[in-house]
Chain A
């Protein structure tokens, strides 16, 4: 080792200087719940920080494998965390630009022979220096159709994940059980992905807090009865099909705002103040079909069964 190489390393100073603290604090502040995910990310950040220090001391030269898989039900914050992960990796110097390119099967797989490779390469070129986020990655592999072009995209991806580890990080996301099947059918992915992070479902209480922070960001508030109605709504919605955690909540709030606007429009006699314009009442929420047992189509299906 040359004399002018740093001989000691101050991890705390590195931690401060790299700006990792801001990302982790942002993670804590902006994401409600998800304790195991936050824990895993903190561990990953520590590992990467130590690894960076080791590289600075010349103890290791290899870039660690950083490809990840995020598994969890829809609406559990996988894309949001992926975006923060891109920022984290950028601050630690593992990716050069730190942007997130979010794609699904349609962006990678072509429709006819010879269409897939250029399409996949185009996406990979765009993702260079950043993070490639493949949502619902298991759709790439369709075992029932042996002529499916997804296989071609998988082969290109595997090659790039191995050869361009310095240039981009691939994060694959999807439902836990289907991702498991996907990985067992494509062992190449399993061995190239170092970090598997599982996203748990939100509890009712967490979803209520999420709904409040969503409203807050749009300058709306619940009145006390509406808050109770929201809690009931969450408990009921969870029992019904197509429940998508935070995404269901966002959609419910969008519809509640719609009803609130309608209510104000039809009921208001005189001028409205800011409070009236930004309060969601219990009536806005209780009108939801969730309280009548869900969508008609789902009810009919259940009756048929």
Chain B
């Protein structure tokens, strides 16, 4: 199942050139860029693995693209997202987040029913291949 989350989630996957332009936009607003990856794309899984430190002092998107290439090489079958963090006082939050890599064969969501309190049921989902 095609996973969608973050910005541009209803667009086709961004090409490297488009990612480059988005990163330029992020750097132009002086936000810090960071890369994160995961194998568990469940929407409730907020904390993905960090790929290196957030990059606070870059001026050009090329540095991010180099990291992205390396992250893809190391985790070709993971979801990778780029995040832009605004450290301005009052914001101090992620301003932008979008997926830049997805596995060729994406997991689907599996539903589990659990019986509780007589005839009540609880539902939960997990990503499965």
Judge if A99 is at the interface, Cβ distance under 8 Å: yes
CA distance A211 to B67 in the complex (A): 46
CB B66 to nearest CB in A, in angstroms, measures: 6
Could you say which residues of chain A place their CB within 8 Å of the CB of B49? none
| Interface size counted on chain B using CB atoms at 8 A | 11
- In chain A, what residue has the closest Cβ to B59? A97
CA distance A125 to B58 in the complex (A): 7
Sorting the interface of chain A by its residue count into under 10, 10 to 19, 20 to 34 or 35 or more gives 10 to 19
- In chain B, what residue has the closest Cβ to A128? B62
Structural contact, B57 and A129, CB atoms closer than 8 A: no
CB B118 to nearest CB in A, in angstroms, measures: 58
Judge if B126 is at the interface, Cβ distance under 8 Å: no
Judge if A167 is at the interface, Cβ distance under 8 Å: yes
CA distance A137 to B46 in the complex (A): 44
Interface centre among A96, A125, A128, A164 (most CB of B within 10 A): A125
Judge if A130 is at the interface, Cβ distance under 8 Å: yes
Judge if A126 is at the interface, Cβ distance under 8 Å: yes
Judge if B60 is at the interface, Cβ distance under 8 Å: yes
Judge if B55 is at the interface, Cβ distance under 8 Å: yes
Judge if B54 is at the interface, Cβ distance under 8 Å: no
Judge if B6 is at the interface, Cβ distance under 8 Å: no
* Contact for B55 among A99, A124, A125, CB less than 8 A: A125
CB A115 to nearest CB in B, in angstroms, measures: 14
CA distance A97 to B28 in the complex (A): 11
CA distance A129 to B23 in the complex (A): 13
Judge if B76 is at the interface, Cβ distance under 8 Å: no
* Contact for A130 among B55, B60, B61, B67, CB less than 8 A: B60
CA distance A97 to B62 in the complex (A): 11
Interface centre among A99, A124, A126 (most CB of B within 10 A): A126
CB B12 to nearest CB in A, in angstroms, measures: 27
CA distance A232 to B57 in the complex (A): 46
Could you say which residues of chain B place their CB within 8 Å of the CB of A99? 59
CB A122 to nearest CB in B, in angstroms, measures: 9
CA distance A130 to B61 in the complex (A): 12
Interface residues of A in 28-61 (CB under 8 A from B): none
CB A83 to nearest CB in B, in angstroms, measures: 15
Interface residues of A in 78-101 (CB under 8 A from B): 96-97, 99
Binary CB contact string for chain A from 106 to 138 against chain B (1 if under 8 A, 0 otherwise):
000000000000000100111011100000000
Judge if B103 is at the interface, Cβ distance under 8 Å: no
CA distance A125 to B62 in the complex (A): 7
CA distance A234 to B129 in the complex (A): 77
- In chain A, what residue has the closest Cβ to B56? A126
- In chain B, what residue has the closest Cβ to A160? B66
CB B67 to nearest CB in A, in angstroms, measures: 7
Structural contact, B59 and A130, CB atoms closer than 8 A: yes
Offer 30 A-B interface pairs, CB within 8 angstroms, sorted by A.
A96-B60, A97-B59, A97-B60, A99-B59, A121-B66, A124-B63, A125-B55, A125-B58, A125-B62, A125-B63, A125-B64, A125-B66, A125-B67, A126-B57, A126-B58, A126-B59, A126-B63, A128-B58, A128-B59, A128-B60, A128-B62, A128-B63, A129-B59, A129-B60, A129-B61, A130-B59, A130-B60, A164-B62, A167-B60, A167-B62
Residues of A in contact with B (beta carbons under 8 Å apart): 96-97, 99, 121, 124-126, 128-130, 164, 167
